[in-house]
């Protein structure tokens, strides 16, 4: 019994003095997650956002009175939707391309 009390006393003394290293519990942090917005993209308006891009790049040929207007009228959203990304042969700016891609992706 004396031996047990001695061992317990030594253990308490070592623990209190910091002589025994206690295992440290670590909690695994949750893996970093990428937040993907589920908010719908803002509606892109053809007349105010898309048409001006084509007016600055494709005027006068593809607008009223131009030599290509009857075949490919760029003032009509249906033409832009039909041609899709083939229009990028003339549209080089990344921001303009992104806006057009987002417009094309709209229902």
Q: Examine residue 70 and state whether it is found in any structural domain, yes or no.
A: yes
18 confidence band (pLDDT: 50, 70, 90): low
Q: Examine residue 57 and state whether it is found in any structural domain, yes or no.
A: yes
Q: Examine residue 79 and state whether it is found in any structural domain, yes or no.
A: yes
Q: Examine residue 100 and state whether it is found in any structural domain, yes or no.
A: yes
pTM beyond 0.85: no
pLDDT at 16: 59
CA distance 1 to 56: 97
Largest separation between any pair of C-alpha atoms in the chain: 111
CA distance 73 to 99: 19
Q: Examine residue 64 and state whether it is found in any structural domain, yes or no.
A: yes
Look up residue 34 and give its two tokens. Answer: 């990428």
CA distance 50 to 39: 22
Summarize pLDDT for 52-88 with one digit per residue, the tens: 999 999 999 999 999 999 999 999 999 999 999 999 9
Q: What is the percent of the chain with per-residue pLDDT over 90, rounded to a whole number?
A: 58
Q: Examine residue 8 and state whether it is found in any structural domain, yes or no.
A: no
Q: Examine residue 58 and state whether it is found in any structural domain, yes or no.
A: yes
């Amino acid at each position: 019994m004396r031996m047990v009390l001695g061992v317990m006393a030594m253990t308490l003394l070592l623990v209190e003095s910091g002589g025994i290293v206690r295992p440290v519990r670590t909690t695994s942090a949750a893996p970093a997650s990428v937040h993907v917005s589920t908010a719908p993209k803002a509606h892109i308006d053809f007349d105010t956002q898309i048409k001006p891009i084509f007016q600055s790049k494709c005027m006068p040929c593809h607008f009223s009175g131009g030599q290509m207007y009857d075949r490919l009228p760029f003032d009509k959203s249906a033409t832009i939707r039909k041609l899709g990304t083939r229009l990028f042969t003339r549209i080089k700016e990344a921001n303009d391309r992104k806006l057009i891609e987002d417009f094309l992706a709209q229902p």
